Structure 1
Amino acid sequence: MSEPGKPVLVSLRGASFAYEDGPTVLEDLDFDIREGRALVLLGRNGSGKTTLLRLLSGGLRPRTGRLTVEGRPVTYDRKGLTRLRTTVQLVVQDPDDQLFAASVAQDVSFGPLNLGLPKTEVRARVDEALDALGITRLADRPTHLLSYGQRKRGAIAGAIAMRPRVLVLDEPTAGLDPDGQERLLATLDELRAGGTTVVMATHDVDLALRWADDAALLTPEGVRTGPAAVMLARTDLLRQAGLRLPWGVAAAELLLAQGLLTDAAAAPRTPEELSAFLRADAASPVRADG
């Protein structure tokens, strides 16, 4: 993985998993989450993305191998799982699988209450989480009256109320309209700026290129991890993972070939960035004189 100097917070080594009476989903897998890196996990349906996220968060236990947090093996008793879940929190794809309390504030308070925290501390965490997700006004709203995007934010608020060091999200932008996606990504950026390491599983290669520092591709030959810009330009790995080439990579190749760009790292990664780039290039003195 890139940035080898970054400390490993959570690690799987030699992990394998199979569901009861089913085929092996993951086999002899090594996977690291490094502090401060935005990591995106990509792969075709059935490749094991959700299974991997559940292994990392303690929802599933590997058949072989081990999970460690800062080098210490995770134990799957109450004490060990509590320690893990104060470090790693998973937000599942469908918020209706996660929200269950009568109101948003009650739902967000569930995790901190289970930690046995004083009521004043629980209230502070709930207020902080609701504010971070921009849903303070929804604190007393019944969860079943929320819009889909609001339910997504409520589920994430419940996770960050645990103040995890690592937030793991399964397809967080699925089902959101473009404005909802942008608002969620802005929230994730704010959480990262506050010190939370974020891991996201997604099928959206354009989002991955734009957002992530590192990309992990689940292929039939195993997981391949590296800098997002490098991994998402590897057409061989993308083909193995059942993914297409990101729009931004294709745009960068065209700009480089046309001599409009000299550094691929500075390439636009969204249509809006491309439009701004072309306007700036057309207005530059060199281009105008040429």
Structure 2
Amino acid sequence: MSEPALVALRGATFGYEDGPAVLSGLDFDIREGRALALLGRNGSGKTTLMRLLSGGLKPDEGRLTVDGEPVTYDRKGLTRLRTTVQLVVQDPDDQLFAASVEQDVSFGPLNLGLDHAQVRVRVAEALSALDITALADRPTHLLSYGQRKRTAIAGAVAMRPRVLILDEPTAGLDPDGQERLLTTLDGLRAGGTTVVMATHDVDLALAWADDAALLTPSGVRTGPAATVLARTDLLRAAGLRLPWGAAAAQLLRAQGLLTETQPGPRTPAELAALAAGRPAASGA
């Protein structure tokens, strides 16, 4: 039997005022320790789903649970939820508001009622985790786009959530910035944080995620990333293309260079390893 979900939506339906339901009867699980990529076309409900999972929206029907316990939407229940789940939105300028990096990152812990010594420890840990300790006193309006992204994530990390949900975290970053951010996320995962990433980048999802969730008109389809992202029917329904790694695996199998049981390449490095006669790294 599989482990129960850390965070789960059951039968969740939600629609904005005077509009149709964006999500209807949705079941969705976040399992502890798994890197999850959330994908779908614009308008598929990704942002709504993330806000339901983080407590920013309340389902019209259905329920949200943490460790199997229903979330209540009073002050106590939402505080409990937000110490478990933190959402970082796509545009850091929608999240940053304090004068300096340190002040911005300290806002959440201060709102938890922690004393100043505890807040300082959390802020120092978050700045270190995001590799922005040297920016602590920098005015937020003087940060580069990538630095603002890291500061926004640090503010969430300072809450010590068990689940970190990121909306398009690599959007707007150059390749070096993307690699540095992904390395940072790997460090957070190694420290016990479960990471959920909404992205349009199917290649990134295949390379990074353990599991993938595709939002399609007929519902959400979730499973191991290498399996779900090789399903052309599901990708088509979600308005997405086949990742190059999945296409390469299909070609290699058609040429007899890869068996059905061998994992396909998820990154260029893994494809190079296969070309050199070494086995590709197996997905989680």
State the TM-score, normalizing by the size of structure 2. Answer: 0.95
Residues 99-178 of structure 1: matches in 2 within 5 Å? Answer: 99-178=96-175
Q: Equivalents in 1 of 2:18, 2:138: separation in Å?
A: 42
Q: Tell me the SS of whatever aligns to 1:230.
A: helix
Please say if residues 58 and 85 of structure 1, whose CA atoms lie closer than 8 Å, have aligned partners that are also in contact: yes
After superposition, give the CA deviation of every residue in 1:197-231 in whole Å (9 maximum; x if it has no partner): 01111111111111111111101001111111111
How many residue pairs get matched? 278
Q: Equivalents in 2 of 1:230, 1:273: separation in Å?
A: 17
- The answer as to 2:257 corresponding to 1:254 is no
Q: Equivalents in 2 of 1:7, 1:13: separation in Å?
A: 13
Q: Aligned in 2, Cα 1:265/1:195: closer, same or farther, shift over 3 Å?
A: farther
Quote the offset at 1:264 in angstroms: 5.5
Residues 200-279 of structure 1: matches in 2 within 5 Å? Answer: 200-262=197-259, 265-278=262-275
1:281 to 244, 266, 277: 277
Runs of at least 5 residues in structure 2 that lack an aligned partner in the other structure: 279-284
RMSD: 1.3
Please say if residues 4 and 68 of structure 2, whose CA atoms lie closer than 8 Å, have aligned partners that are also in contact: no
Q: Aligned in 2, Cα 1:166/1:265: closer, same or farther, shift over 3 Å?
A: farther
Percent identity over the alignment is: 82
Q: Which amino acid aligns with 1:158?
A: G
Aligned to 1:285: none
- The answer as to 2:99 corresponding to 1:85 is no
Q: Which amino acid aligns with 1:281?
A: G
Q: Tell me the SS of whatever aligns to 1:216.
A: strand
Aligned to 1:192: 189
Q: Equivalents in 2 of 1:224, 1:274: separation in Å?
A: 27
Q: Tell me the SS of whatever aligns to 1:130.
A: helix
Aligned to 2:37: 40
Please say if residues 6 and 32 of structure 2, whose CA atoms lie closer than 8 Å, have aligned partners that are also in contact: yes
Please say if residues 252 and 264 of structure 1, whose CA atoms lie closer than 8 Å, have aligned partners that are also in contact: no
Q: Which amino acid aligns with 1:153?
A: R
Which has the greater radius of gyration? 1
Please say if residues 74 and 81 of structure 1, whose CA atoms lie closer than 8 Å, have aligned partners that are also in contact: yes
Q: Which amino acid aligns with 2:6?
A: L
After superposition, give the CA deviation of every residue in 1:124-176 in whole Å (9 maximum; x if it has no partner): 00000000000000000001110101000000000010000000011111111
Runs of at least 5 residues in structure 1 that lack an aligned partner in the other structure: 283-290
